């Protein structure tokens, strides 16, 4: 069994070559987070059933350095994993292992089935570079929360997230953000309305300097049963 090698490149002065962030963290072409100042740590994220969950995986290696990126699971096939290479707003689907050279940001898309067991699962990005391995340990929590079937619209619409955005490119960062928020909106339709509105409205999404502000809404929805 492979073990995590987080200090592998410390002697050579390399930065941590494998990092994982939320779908909302803003990351530049060099692989650095530009906002928020303190991005959420992704180690044990909650994920809903009958839903997609998305994360950004940063491979940060010197220019010209070849690598291969895998996503391992335990139990096997606990979720369906799809990798995309980020190219601006575009997402380019890549097979596993994903190969490349130099710094790259990937979109890791997880699909969790409606009948998935409520349990902890390992979904671990694994980077092979210079014949060594670096593993980012993620123990995702499959929650009881389940996105309802059908084209349901929640009462919230989350500060016009779903009202003002159009699906122009069906495979892009912005369209996948919209897809995921629409899932949340469907879950909001079964949330206690008074409690939900008391906690989250009115909101100032357009004024917030923190692109991860929205995650507190998702955290609440994922605790629903």
SS3 125: strand
Q: With 80 as the cut, is the pLDDT of residue 3 above it?
A: no
% pLDDT > 70, the chain: 81
- Per-residue confidence (pLDDT) for residue 158, from 0 to 100: 53
Lowest mean pLDDT among 8-22, 61-75, 106-120: 8-22
Q: Work out the average pLDDT over 50-72.
A: 96
- Per-residue confidence (pLDDT) for residue 195, from 0 to 100: 79
For 190-210, write each residue's pLDDT tens digit: 778 777 777 776 665 556 788
Distance of CA 102 to the CA centre of its chain: 22
Q: With 80 as the cut, is the pLDDT of residue 166 above it?
A: no
CA dihedral 103, 107, 108, 114 (to 10 degrees): 180
For 101-156, write each residue's pLDDT tens digit: 999 999 999 999 999 999 999 999 999 999 999 999 999 999 999 999 865 555 54
- Per-residue confidence (pLDDT) for residue 18, from 0 to 100: 97
Q: Specify the higher pLDDT residue, 81 or 13.
A: 81
Are the CB atoms for 66 and 29 separated by under 8 Å? no
Distance of CA 98 to the CA centre of its chain: 17
In this prediction, residue 168 has a pLDDT band, given cuts at 50, 70 and 90, of low
- Per-residue confidence (pLDDT) for residue 1, from 0 to 100: 38
- Per-residue confidence (pLDDT) for residue 128, from 0 to 100: 97
Q: Specify the higher pLDDT residue, 19 or 16.
A: 19
For 79-108, write each residue's pLDDT tens digit: 999 999 999 999 999 999 999 999 999 999
- Per-residue confidence (pLDDT) for residue 76, from 0 to 100: 95
- Per-residue confidence (pLDDT) for residue 206, from 0 to 100: 55
- The structural domains of the chain, ordered by start, are 18-143 (2.60.40.10)
Helix axes 215-222, 173-188, angle to 10 degrees: 40
Sequence-separated contacts (24+) of 38-42 with Cβ below 8 Å: 39/212, 40/212, 40/215, 42/138
């Amino acid at each position: 069994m492979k073990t995590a090698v987080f200090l592998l490149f410390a002697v050579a002065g390399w930065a941590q070559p494998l990092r994982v962030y939320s779908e909302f963290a803003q990351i530049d072409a060099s692989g650095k987070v530009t906002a928020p100042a303190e991005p959420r740590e992704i180690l044990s994220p909650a994920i809903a059933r009958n839903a997609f969950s998305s994360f950004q995986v940063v491979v940060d290696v010197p220019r010209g350095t070849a690598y291969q990126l895998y996503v391992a699971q335990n139990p096997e096939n606990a979720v369906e994993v799809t990798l995309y290479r980020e190219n601006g707003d575009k997402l380019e689907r890549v097979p596993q292992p994903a190969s490349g050279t130099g710094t790259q940001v990937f979109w890791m898309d997880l699909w969790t089935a409606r009948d998935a067991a409520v349990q902890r699962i390992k979904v671990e990005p694994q980077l092979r570079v210079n014949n060594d391995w670096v593993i980012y340990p993620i123990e995702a929590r499959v929650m009881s929360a389940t996105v309802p079937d059908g084209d349901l619209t929640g009462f919230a619409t989350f500060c016009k997230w779903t009202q003002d955005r159009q699906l122009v490119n069906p495979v892009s960062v912005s369209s996948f953000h919209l897809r995921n928020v629409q899932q949340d909106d469907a879950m909001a339709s079964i949330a206690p309305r008074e409690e939900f509105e008391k906690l989250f409205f009115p909101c100032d999404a357009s004024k917030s300097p923190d692109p991860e502000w929205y995650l507190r809404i998702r955290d609440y929805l994922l605790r629903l049963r």
